[in-house]
Amino acid sequence: MVCREILYTELRYCVTTFMGGVEILQQVEITPWHNGLLNELLLTVPVEGTWEEVLSRVEANMQENKSSFTGRSPQITLHLGTRSVGVEDLDGLVRQIQTKYALLTVAVVSTDLTTQEAARRLALNVYMMQPGSALVFATSEAEAGNNALYLPQTIRSGQKIVHAGTVIVGGDVNAGAEVVAEGDILVFGTLRGLAHAGSHGDEKARIMAGNMRPQQLRIANTFAGAPPDAPPAKVRLTEVARIENGKITVAPY
């Protein structure tokens, strides 16, 4: 698990479309893609149909593509879209793929809370966006803006949001929660947990919060702990954190 974790922090996903439930996937599909370091497989599961149907269609598709699974224990990412999958079901699918085809499931792409939690319990990485086939980076601010992920809810302890663009949280980010974004992080409520903006080295990234109370802030490769002399939590501090002269500074917005 540990090496898997390290490997994935090195990866970058291209940002093509944000799939917030608008995209409807009909077929079980297996497509090869390059994750930036090595070749992997991506299994796309349709949103429609019962879980039993999904399993049998995966099975059929796997049989068909068996010959293309080359290399030493190839890795696979499961794209489950908006489907809600419990931990037992997901575990079953992961085991089926592992035992029958020797494919190691490393991550799940999902926008569903239940599925994400199930994946986390199975020590899989969770992504909200479909990984792409080639590395494409935003070339303008306008393009980068389209990559923003809006989460209306509060991010609770133990939940981790990883996103290749900017993340906007409508609620709070509680202590023990983590938000990691390649772009900026905007929290409308109280930021109590960990926020890491510019996670792939963007030193211009900023972290904004309606009430800035973080345990730790990270921007690019710099990090800062909470000051020991913060005023009582009831005083609302709307602040922005950015890198100035190589250090993270927090100033009123």
Partner 1 sequence: MADSNSRVIVITSGKGGVGKTTTTANIGVALSHHLGEKVALIDADIGLRNLDLALGLENRIVYDIVDVVEGRAKLRQALIKSKSNQNLALLPAAQTRDKSAVSPSQMIQIIQELQEEGYTYILIDCPAGIEQGFRNATAGATEAIVVTNPEMSSVRDADRIIGLLEAQELHSPYLIVNRLRPKMVKQQEMLAVEDVQDVLGSNVRLLGVIPEDEVIITSTNRGEPAALLEGNLAGQAYRNIARRLKGETVPFLNLDEKTGFFDRIKSIFGGKR
Any contact of residue 229 with partner 1 (CB under 8 A)?
Answer: no
Q: How far is the CB of 182 from partner 1 (least distance, A)?
A: 24
Any contact of residue 237 with partner 1 (CB under 8 A)?
Answer: no
Any contact of residue 154 with partner 1 (CB under 8 A)?
Answer: yes
Q: Is 57 exposed, middle or buried (0-12, 13-18, 19+ CB in 10 A)?
A: middle
Take residue 47 and report the two structure tokens written for it. 């949103």
- What are the two backbone dihedrals, phi and then psi, of residue 116, each rounded to the nearest 5 degrees? -60, -40
Query: What are residue 33's DSSP bridge partners?
Result: 40
Q: Is 121 exposed, middle or buried (0-12, 13-18, 19+ CB in 10 A)?
A: exposed
Figure out which of the listed residues 63, 157, 221, 222 binds partner 1, where binding follows CB under 8 A. Answer: 157
Closer to partner 1 by Cβ: residue 34 or 156: 156
Closer to partner 1 by Cβ: residue 55 or 220: 55
- The footprint of partner 1 on residues 63-122 (CB under 8 A) is 87-88, 113-114, 116-118
Distance between CA atoms of residues 179 and 155, nearest Å: 8
Which part of the chain contacts partner 1 (CB under 8 A), choosing from 18-26, 60-68, 148-156, 216-224? 148-156
Under a CB-based contact definition with an 8 Å cutoff, are residues 164 and 148 in contact?
no
Binding site for partner 1 (CB under 8 A): 87-88, 113-114, 116-118, 153-154, 156-159, 171-172, 174-176, 190, 192, 233
